[in-house]
Structure 1
Amino acid sequence: MARTPGRVCVRAVYPGSFDPFTPGHLNVVSRARDLFDEVVVLVAVNSIKRPGTDEEERAAAVRANLPADWSTVTVAAWSGLTSTYCRHHEVGVIVRGVRNTTDLRTEYQLAAMNHSLGVPTVFLPAQPELVAMSSTAVRSVAG
């Protein structure tokens, strides 16, 4: 993305448990790169989910799946609220991928909470060929 003089750099965060990081996740990151100056893939701890590895190992796996020339994309592990990460790291927006109306309902509730904490959310709908892709489905096939 070419920078316009005087334009503010917009950093985005794409949070998730990424257990594992799927082609759908990669697609969301790719499209977010086109919208924002910098994208942080935030490998988060979700108390509801029980991933097979810790967030540092998952972050390393995400890094290994990103193209080397994506210099505007970084990966970080985080165990707090996404909005707290955003405030501490000058991130202006949260990016979330949605596959269906069930995802949208859940994500909308999270977006409302994050908005009340000062961080807006941008939803990116899944590409049609990736709608059925989920980390749960990938784990089931791999298992």
Structure 2
Amino acid sequence: MTRAVFPGTFDPVTPGHLDIAGRARHLFDELVVLVAVNGDKQPTRAGETRATAVREALPPDWHNVTVTAWRGLTATYCHRHDIAVIVRGVRNPTDVRHEQELAAMNESLGIPTLLLPTRPTLATISSTAARELRP
């Protein structure tokens, strides 16, 4: 059984996040959406609150997708939970450069990364923009 993790802040979860998760869930037996609790970022809501929001946004028939909040390195989570691959979405060349750096670090820690390009219709959506539009 191949398990993957899709980490992110998800502040808030966007249609782009759901698209990446939806596509990744078909590539792996199990997908864990890993809601990052990261001291370097200042999310607007607590990790478990964001994880609950992600769970509520997932279609009910996505039986092989789970959601959890995690404080620490994604690679550490992968090693502790027998997860083979990290999945990340990329919207533009800036994302690609940043994600390649993270992928190299995670590869050095023994976990490969699969970069999935965002669908063109979703490429302009970011959590930052979604926060600004949220009431």
Asked whether the equivalents of residues 38 and 72 of structure 2 are also in contact (C-alpha less than 8 Å), the reply is no
CA distance in 1, matches of 2:54, 2:126: 15
Structure 1, gaps ≥5 residues long: 1-8
Matched, 1:76 2:68: yes
Q: Over the residues paired in the alignment, what is the CA RMSD in angstroms?
A: 0.8
Structure 2, gaps ≥5 residues long: none
Q: Which residue of the partner structure matches residue 19 of structure 2?
A: 27
The alignment covers a number of residue pairs equal to 135
Q: Which residue of the partner structure matches residue 13 of structure 1?
A: 5
Runs (4+) off by over 6 Å: none
Q: Which residue of the partner structure matches residue 52 of structure 1?
A: 44
CA distance in 2, matches of 1:56, 1:25: 17
Asked whether the equivalents of residues 51 and 68 of structure 2 are also in contact (C-alpha less than 8 Å), the reply is yes
Q: Which residue of the partner structure matches residue 37 of structure 1?
A: 29
Q: Which residue of the partner structure matches residue 129 of structure 1?
A: 121
Q: Which residue of the partner structure matches residue 97 of structure 1?
A: 89
1:140 to 129, 132, 135: 132
CA distance in 2, matches of 1:60, 1:142: 17
Secondary structure of the 1:31 match is helix
How much does 1:49 deviate? 1.8
Secondary structure of the 2:26 match is helix
CA distance in 2, matches of 1:43, 1:112: 21
